[in-house]
A and B are shown apart, each in its own frame.
Chain A
């Protein structure tokens, strides 16, 4: 068990490091001069500066050092908790993200909870219902939900619930009522994905011999599905939990823009547009860290749900 935990931890750190390095490389391989770009983000046009001014400006943002050195110092900063300074906004990146984290976390949590509820509910219902037409409709719903672009769902939801019916505010991040529409918008996609995985998993589990045995023992269908089906079917769904959390973060970029919520997603959008490299790097690394953390938690939960996982090589256990 100790070895299992350690190997999961090492893997998590490795993924995080790789995410940071790839992002750094991509940002530096942009098809234009990173110095001009970053000075441009600071409102300085290089052609207006004399050579001495240009050197001074480069030195101010640490752009005069070799890329390898910049990489190492940035990495060192990240490890010690210093995320650097935004070039466009001239503020510490940690503070910028900290200010915007609240609305995004509450949005992510709300969307996550909603997806769990709707996703599992839908899958559970779809495998319980026996009337074929209803079963067909229920099992096709997730594909439909996963196909709509989020900005479209968001705009339609605003038109309907904010402008036509006037039930909920269209924009802003004040109060729980402003959270509902954006959370629903995100969870249409994430709950659909969850439901798709769960439905397949239910189908497989319920065709296992032990389910037949349980039925033969005289248990009701509901009891079998709850006690034998659900607990086993939930395992594969947990695997994609990390993916779903990651999705709620990336969805925040679109959804926060549509609903004018001031979160990390909108910060990401602004920073990409102004090519504010330190902020983009920090947000991508943060998103990767959340993704890695959720996966780590899921990995550590597996053995509790299925003791076979610690003994067997992972590939076999989780297909």
Chain B
């Protein structure tokens, strides 16, 4: 095997060139208590409600951002990813080689690492994980979230006790990034003897800085420090045992109550899913707590259209007008505050290979009206547009009403497009999408790799085949699939970079994605907490976190 330059190095240079990372940088580096970190104490974190449909803390299976945030501190991965540069860096693997044909990845592991049950993290363990992942994909009919991270992977061979070779049916350029994620974090070989459902409930052991003490879904999740931990990622300052004795994650449904818990000192960190409102940020600020924020990498909060024949958005002109008529600047300022970052395309700005489409997303109501006029959509007596007797009405499928949905409804009304907000509980959503009775549906996907979008847009891979099929015309879909293949089935970084740039143009030019807002992970952090850090996926990294005693 000829030695191939580390993909990590190549990735780093590529991403350094193409990225303007950390768009929405940390709130305040100087926040937090003064002095050196001290050990001890229990950190209290308040999340929004737990995933009622799938309360699962198994690294490979879960997709919920909060579960992945907890897992990041329970289970280590082969590699890590630098949040500043997107570079893949060593963690449980000291080094790795990618074969020139992209069909094998050979990892050399750190010596002396153990799972919390004492078994070693060695080549056999990695092999057991690979086999466990593939078995889980099969057992869950491909619905396990991790399935999207191991496309093409077919097995692993033990080369020597600390060297393992992962083999592929077809190249998968996003796999190295995948090895840095929580979804491919390693758990002990014995853990895979438990059923997927048992692992979801917490029945597994890993090699992380904390171990899972208890998980009571939607109530409390507690993790405790592992004293003999000594193999933290170099991306943290503290690679040894963490400062905190324990961390308690509770689930609070009401945003105002969660924020109040922080400002009244009942919790140390408030971790919302939706960005803090302007009012909540003011409240946190006045309580002396810090507001940390970072864009979540991956697909931005974006509408996907239904372009099937007979629906208004099958008309390319209507899709173009939609881009012109949605005022993302006012949206960001009104809903999330004046300093909220603008969405610049189908991906959030912290996604590797991101290229800005901001020029094409400028608010232009006159342009939108002209586009619609030229396409034959004429304004009727009621102020809405009609063509051949058909009213220009778009059905927006939402799980609950929100000011944001109403704002967009109002913005589109200005140019004569009627929006019907169809409130549909999540459980009914799949059936409605399959039935095709909608025009717009919002979706997102958090992963620090553009390949994530395949799992929304490619009918062969997507969780909702119907949404994927409806989202683009057959010609556009073929082009999307070609670009994804070009980007992923190669080891040539320049090719990947070019394909992802073309893809991001295509998403806006052909009206596949209609970005609404940049997804920003906020955290309200008490002034007695130091060492706060986000991972590259904007999860919470606890290695350096300490609490004033």
Judge whether A32 and B218 touch: CB under 8 Å: no
Judge whether A275 and B250 touch: CB under 8 Å: no
CB contact between A36 and one of B252, B261, B431 (< 8 Å): that residue:
B431
Q: Does B17 contact A (CB under 8 A)?
A: no
| A272 contacts across to B, CB distance below 8 A | 425
**CB within 8 Å of B: which of A120-175?**
155, 158-159, 162-163, 166, 169-173
Judge whether A89 and B55 touch: CB under 8 Å: yes
Flag B117-150 by CB within 8 Å of A: 1 or 0 each: 0000000000000000000000001110000000
Taking A163-B260, A170-B264, A258-B257 as contacts, is the C-beta distance between A37 and B428 under 8 angstroms?
yes
Q: Does B4 contact A (CB under 8 A)?
A: no
**CB within 8 Å of B: which of A260-277?**
260, 262, 266, 270-276
Judge whether A274 and B434 touch: CB under 8 Å: no
| A40 contacts across to B, CB distance below 8 A | 427-431
Judge whether A36 and B266 touch: CB under 8 Å: no
**Bound-state Cα–Cα, A172 to B251, Å:** 9
Taking A155-B256, A258-B254 as contacts, is the C-beta distance between A46 and B218 under 8 angstroms?
no
Q: Does B53 contact A (CB under 8 A)?
A: yes
CB contact between B216 and one of A43, A158, A262 (< 8 Å): that residue:
A262
Judge whether B260 and A274 touch: CB under 8 Å: no
| B428 contacts across to A, CB distance below 8 A | 32, 37, 40, 275
Q: Does A198 contact B (CB under 8 A)?
A: no
| B463 contacts across to A, CB distance below 8 A | 45, 48
**Bound-state Cα–Cα, A171 to B263, Å:** 14
Interface centre among B55, B252, B429 (most CB of A within 10 A): B252
Judge whether A166 and B264 touch: CB under 8 Å: yes
Taking the closest CB of chain A, its distance from the CB of B143, in whole angstroms, is 6
**CB within 8 Å of A: which of B209-263?**
216, 218-219, 250-254, 256-257, 260-261, 263
| B432 contacts across to A, CB distance below 8 A | 32
Residue in A closest to B260 when the chains form the complex, CB atoms: A163
Judge whether A45 and B257 touch: CB under 8 Å: no
**Bound-state Cα–Cα, A276 to B53, Å:** 9
Taking A43-B143, A47-B464 as contacts, is the C-beta distance between A171 and B218 under 8 angstroms?
no
Judge whether B218 and A41 touch: CB under 8 Å: no
Judge whether A44 and B141 touch: CB under 8 Å: yes
**CB within 8 Å of B: which of A56-97?**
88-90
Residue in A closest to B466 when the chains form the complex, CB atoms: A47
Taking A43-B54, A163-B264, A273-B52 as contacts, is the C-beta distance between A171 and B143 under 8 angstroms?
no
**Bound-state Cα–Cα, A44 to B432, Å:** 14
Q: Does A33 contact B (CB under 8 A)?
A: yes
CB contact between A262 and one of B53, B219, B254, B265 (< 8 Å): that residue:
B219
**Bound-state Cα–Cα, A131 to B53, Å:** 58
| A258 contacts across to B, CB distance below 8 A | 253-254, 257
| B257 contacts across to A, CB distance below 8 A | 155, 158, 170-171, 258-260
Residue in B closest to A262 when the chains form the complex, CB atoms: B219
Residues of A with Cβ closer than 8 Å to B?
Answer: 32-33, 36-37, 40-41, 43-49, 53, 88-90, 155, 158-159, 162-163, 166, 169-173, 257-260, 262, 266, 270-276
Residues of B with Cβ closer than 8 Å to A?
Answer: 46, 52-55, 141-143, 197, 216, 218-219, 250-254, 256-257, 260-261, 263-266, 425-432, 434, 463-466
